[in-house]
Structure 1
Amino acid sequence: MTTKEFRLPDLGEGLTESELVAWHVAVGDLVSLNQTIAEVESAKAVVQLPSPCAGVVTRLVGEPGATMAVGTVIAAFEVEDAPAPARNPVLVGYGAPVERTDRPQRRARSGVAASSGVTSTGSVAERPRSTPPVRRLAHDLGVELELLRGSGEDGVITREDVQAAASVVSVSPVAQVGETRTPISGVRKRTAEAMVSSAFTAPHVTEFLTVDVTPTVELVESLQAGREFREHRLTMLTVVAKAVCLAAARTPSVNSRWDEANREIVQFDHLNLGIAVATSRGLLVPNIPNAESFALGELADAITGLAETARAGTITPAQLSGGTFTISNIGVFGVGAGTPIINPGEAAILATGAVRRMPWEYRGEIALRQVMTLSLSFDHRLVDGEQGSRFLTDVGGILGEPGRVLAMV
């Protein structure tokens, strides 16, 4: 028999760590090649890790919630000495589907050491090496883990280390205001980093346009009632997505990116349309590749499918990469307008506000109309004011008078 170690693989996103979500096996389990043994959360999605071999699980490193550095050992197996078939494990979401037998999720075993503070080269990372329960205890007792030297195996900080340190920590007599702290990790951590990078790298300009979208509201209702679109969930967002594709073809600078290394503007010949989706894990932006080639019903299905899989937690990293333009539907929260931050690597983002029934000038009189505000943020290195304004008025023109599409195609 031979012992085979399994190291946390590089998920292909340029990241150095992932958070362990759950184990699907326990020590002593017999597993097959490519059977899912764990789920980890990268900055973009939850990924299932397959077993690299067939054998018996002899060790699991880390508890759910622990941050694991790429390259560190997270599991070990006892395998037969005979050579295994030359097959590589496939990360779910990164290759062909892998047949697997679902196993009931096991409760994490207590006492399993976490390797959250070790980098792939063995150096100590910013987070002290300890388990999530120990970090929580340290927080509750007011102990700074960065100042402690761990007495556990490989220098891991234990509960006893924290309790000993707490006994000498002076406590201020001043009453403390109640608060709850939540560590930033996974999607929220990556989103925060990306938004800060975008806000302080790309010179943002935001323009607003308020439009009477009553004709589009009536069009959506009419199409949805017809036989052709009965099986599709047609919404205002669907029409906005189609309008963006048409308008971007007339103003291609909004569908480009800035190449800092070569000091070049890269113009895309396709539009991968990102749709911002609010989930329990944070904001995700899956995209529709080549959205410009989709018919209205196909766009409706694609948007519905992306939202459902993102909220279910089954979205793949591939679906979250490669976007070239983003739409953020802030109107679903009742918000009228905003100043959206551009998704890194893109030139612009469009936020659609809530559709509100309000007094509006219509055919020389004041009438109650369905009104929406569009907010376009763009990178001024790539898009100048004239181009941004032309794109925004094209989108608004389509929503205000859908028949204008005949003059644009």
Structure 2
Amino acid sequence: MIKVFKLPDLGEGLTESEIVAWLVAPGDEVTLNQHIADVETAKAVVELPSPFAGVVSVLHQPAGVVVHVGEPIVSFDIGGGAEPTSTAPTDTTAGAAAPAEQREANLVGYGPAVERGGHPQRRARAGGAESVPAPATSTTAAPVPAVTPAAVSTDQPAVAPVPVPLAERPRSTPPVRALARDLGIDLTTVTGTGKDGLITRDDVRAHITESVPTPAVHGEPVSPTAVPPTAAPATSRGDDVRETRSPIKSLRKLTAAAMVQSAFTAPHVTEFLTIDVTPTVELLDSLRTDRQFEGAGIGILTVVAKALCLAVGRTPSVNTRWDEPAGEIVQFHHVNLGIAAATPRGLLVPNIVDADRLDLRGLAAALAELTTAARSGTTTPAALSGGTITITNIGVFGIDAGTPILNPGEAAILAMGAIRSRPWEYRGEVALRKVLTLSLSFDHRLVDGEQGSRFLADIGTILADPARVLTMV
């Protein structure tokens, strides 16, 4: 029996995903929930598990293709005969038993109910798996027309699609595949030096250095031949590459749409505050030598995050959301603190849930975990939703100030610039002090100028004199 698996809804209302890599090929035997592919949504790369145990029959889509939810992506031969086409209960008064209980498949942990024959059953659903009879005569398949979830019925024969021939599958991890994709490297051309031929990040970098290097992209050197397979040919004169075109998709596409919506929906106001943060820098120096905080990794971002959480308690309007359809203002009574992170895939804003309940050590640990996941490409879609207010640290790039755009659905975003040694008025004299500029953008529908100014001033007060926290709580 052939089971067709359609791209499921991966959550967050996303309608399409890119197949990053197949980890199986036609003829491979798979087990239930086995990791069969890496799929990139607009927010994260996720592992796609198999909804069946059986043999891979056909891969309907090659790697690198953007697939819409509900489109077939892989077929499995699970053995056995044809299933009943009707799931309606029979008349129990005639002595017939009701059909076995069924469960809908979800992304991870399908947990299907088992019928009397021991085979999983599943209710047909959009983006899920569907049963079709196996071809009875020929192994030569004809092209299958595009279908929508509503256009397929389990009681109608389906024409088997044309198999997609694939090269031998390279072994690597999702972060390595993401790096190779960003650099335009075909992993089938890379020799793996890891265990059992596993391709590592060093293998990808070593492959790049075999060609003449060009300026770095996202901190990684790129060879002139490292053009993504989907990119249009570059227009060049001699060896001078004039331009390269690549499709707008995945994270970049979502980020662009979100920023445009935010910029032209929420009336932005940005305020700036430059402060002497020498006391905070001295506090951090003392914590690094304190055995109680040894290895805690508390830095300036940790302190700014804590100061923001404390200031939210005094100006709650910055921690709200404008619900246009409901005609309501949503006031959050918790702080899910978003941290803007630059990654090889683009801008991500994962958040720390209930950041206002964490102390400095807890915030430092949460920030470290968040940063590690973002850089390795393992941030989950769940971690990228539900934020209530955001911090972006542009100071790590040597930038003093900016006008950050609000993360959609949030009322405020704080940008922290670089800490610089500058001449500053201190106790009636000019001294060399550690100076930082904060930039606060807020939605003027939700936050008045007075409220935004007070919120920014509170954060500045804490950073300029950490002891003043005692007067604010």
TM-score of the superposed pair, with normalisation by structure 2 = 0.69
1:136/1:279 Cα in 2 relative to 1: closer, same or farther (>3 Å)?
Answer: closer
For residue 401 of structure 2, what is the aligned residue in structure 1?
337
Deviation for aligned residue 1:14: 1.0
| Identical-pair percentage | 63
Structure with bigger RCO (C-alpha 8 Å, 6+ apart): 1
For residue 6 of structure 2, what is the aligned residue in structure 1?
7
Q: Does 1:256 align with 2:320?
A: yes
For residue 140 of structure 1, what is the aligned residue in structure 2?
233
Q: Which runs of 5+ in 1 are unaligned?
A: 97-112, 123-130, 143-175
Q: Which moved more, 1:218-227 or 1:240-249?
A: 218-227
Deviation for aligned residue 1:139: 3.5
For residue 100 of structure 1, what is the aligned residue in structure 2?
none
Match of residue 320, structure 1, among 384, 389, 397: 384
Indicate conservation of the 8 Å contact 1:213/1:400, yes or no.
Answer: yes
For residue 246 of structure 2, what is the aligned residue in structure 1?
182
1:391 counterpart SS class:
helix
Match of residue 288, structure 2, among 224, 240, 246: 224
Matches for 1:135-214 after TM superposition, within 5 Å: 139-140=232-233, 178-214=242-278
Q: Does 1:70 align with 2:69?
A: yes
For residue 462 of structure 2, what is the aligned residue in structure 1?
398
Indicate conservation of the 8 Å contact 2:234/2:243, yes or no.
Answer: no
Matches for 1:224-243 after TM superposition, within 5 Å: 224-243=288-307
Match of residue 368, structure 1, among 414, 432, 451: 432
For residue 43 of structure 2, what is the aligned residue in structure 1?
44
Matched residues in 2 for 1:46 and 1:384: separation?
39
TM-score of the superposed pair, with normalisation by structure 1 = 0.80
Structure 1 counterpart of 2:50, one-letter code? S
Max Rg structure: 2
Matched residues in 1 for 2:106 and 2:371: separation?
25
Matches for 1:119-138 after TM superposition, within 5 Å: none
Indicate conservation of the 8 Å contact 1:34/1:89, yes or no.
Answer: no
1:337/1:118 Cα in 2 relative to 1: closer, same or farther (>3 Å)?
Answer: farther
Deviation for aligned residue 1:136: 6.0
Matched residues in 1 for 2:387 and 2:313: separation?
16
Q: Does 1:302 align with 2:366?
A: yes
Structure 2 counterpart of 1:275, one-letter code? I
1:331 counterpart SS class:
helix
Deviation for aligned residue 1:86: 6.3
Indicate conservation of the 8 Å contact 1:47/1:91, yes or no.
Answer: no
1:263/1:179 Cα in 2 relative to 1: closer, same or farther (>3 Å)?
Answer: same
Q: Does 1:291 align with 2:355?
A: yes
Q: Which moved more, 1:281-290 or 1:222-231?
A: 222-231
Matched residues in 2 for 1:95 and 1:256: separation?
36
Matched residues in 2 for 1:324 and 1:121: separation?
37
For residue 219 of structure 2, what is the aligned residue in structure 1?
none
Deviation for aligned residue 1:390: 0.2
Matched residues in 1 for 2:231 and 2:299: separation?
49
Q: Which runs of 5+ in 2 are unaligned?
A: 84-99, 112-141, 152-164, 166-183, 187-227
For residue 167 of structure 1, what is the aligned residue in structure 2?
none
Deviation for aligned residue 1:140: 3.2
2:325 counterpart SS class:
coil
Deviation for aligned residue 1:183: 1.5
1:180 counterpart SS class:
strand
Matched residues in 1 for 2:470 and 2:334: separation?
22
Q: How many residues align?
A: 350
Match of residue 351, structure 1, among 415, 422, 432: 415
Indicate conservation of the 8 Å contact 1:69/1:119, yes or no.
Answer: no
Deviation per residue, 1:148-195 (Å, 9 max, x gap): xxxxxxxxxxxxxxxxxxxxxxxxxxxx98211122211111111100
Structure 2 counterpart of 1:321, one-letter code? S
Matched residues in 2 for 1:285 and 1:114: separation?
41
Matched residues in 1 for 2:110 and 2:389: separation?
25
Deviation for aligned residue 1:263: 1.9
1:393/1:118 Cα in 2 relative to 1: closer, same or farther (>3 Å)?
Answer: farther
1:65 counterpart SS class:
coil
1:137/1:252 Cα in 2 relative to 1: closer, same or farther (>3 Å)?
Answer: closer
1:57/1:85 Cα in 2 relative to 1: closer, same or farther (>3 Å)?
Answer: farther
Structure 2 counterpart of 1:27, one-letter code? P
Deviation for aligned residue 1:138: 9.2
2:293 counterpart SS class:
coil
Matched residues in 1 for 2:25 and 2:105: separation?
19
Matched residues in 1 for 2:247 and 2:230: separation?
14
Structure 2 counterpart of 1:79, one-letter code? I
Matched residues in 1 for 2:402 and 2:261: separation?
19
Indicate conservation of the 8 Å contact 2:279/2:465, yes or no.
Answer: yes
For residue 25 of structure 2, what is the aligned residue in structure 1?
26
Deviation per residue, 1:376-407 (Å, 9 max, x gap): 00000000000000000000000000001111
Structure 1 counterpart of 2:259, one-letter code? M
Q: Does 1:383 align with 2:447?
A: yes
1:194/1:245 Cα in 2 relative to 1: closer, same or farther (>3 Å)?
Answer: same
Structure 1 counterpart of 2:430, one-letter code? I
For residue 107 of structure 2, what is the aligned residue in structure 1?
91
2:297 counterpart SS class:
coil
